[in-house]
Structure 1
Amino acid sequence: MRDCRTVPCPVAARCKATKWRYQVVGMGPVLRRRVLRANSLFLMAFGGISIVIGDVRSIWFAPGPWEGMLRGEPSVGIGPLEAHGLALLLGVLMWRASRREVERSWHVAAAAAHVFLGLCNILLWDIYALTDAVFLGYVSTTMHAVFACVEVVAAGARRRPRVAD
């Protein structure tokens, strides 16, 4: 049996026998909340603006920015509408999750979402060229890559023992 007075207890957040407790290595809980909150703002802003300015306008009130992609068939717009709507909803969920201490699973989910969205941007890059939105494609794809990396770091933050004050 280990002596809790000399070695930190690995199973408890705070060992009752000693002053040992755990802290997050590299990224504290406040920074992790801010990362998820910034992430959610990005998704809500890009998703919401894309729905209003691009999707709704192009599908129902032509002409719009996606006019070249739709080619007179508004039902083709279901893909961008769903993608931007889901980005908006993910942003809202992440915002709600960032209101308290963020669990690791939220960072994993956020990283996975950004990897998926960024990969879709790259694989379907022709849509950006077709709609003359290449600069917007660069910005959004770069931001997806940045947020995916930051969320992986936040998800990988682990606890290490330290002595309480």
Structure 2
Amino acid sequence: MKFELEFDKDVYNKQMDLLFDLNWKKKKDYYKNSQYLGLILIIIGIVLIYKRPNIFGIGYCFVFFGLSNLVSFIYYYFKIRSFYKRMEDVKVKEINDFHYIKYMNLEFTEDALITTSGDHFNLIQWSEFIHYIVKENNLILITKDYESFILGEIEVGLENFEKITSFVKVKFETKKEND
């Protein structure tokens, strides 16, 4: 199966946001909630220390656990924020690159996925892929190097998207049987 895809900036941005959410959303939500827990524990600990400082040091334990939750939140907040900024820079660079190259060819063969755009040619054997995900009408293929390829239903149409997903599913099932 061979497809010629036209680059659309809006579709690309939505797909990159989807990839970001798949990677970081659970962790971001968990640490957002741990921030509130940390603040509550610190407040309870301070109140216990102020009201009754000699109750087995329980107030200090609350402050310690609250700070440990808060420190992990701060660490991941800055880590996720810096990753998002880098991702935004990459998105701008890719959009500028594709401004000159309007079309990309994808070919699904029995042995590999072949992508060509302008002067760039990429051949990836099916054995290099470790996982695939169908999420929000997008097919995401992940390689052993954690490089991802994403293809949306909006880019190829519903009928072709169903053909591609069933083809990829068969490829992964035969790969599992061979392993």
Range class of TM-score, shorter chain = 0.3 to 0.5
Which structure has greater strand proportion?
2
- TM-score (normalised: structure 2): 0.32
Structure with higher RCO (Cα < 8 A, 6+ apart): 1
- TM-score (normalised: structure 1): 0.34
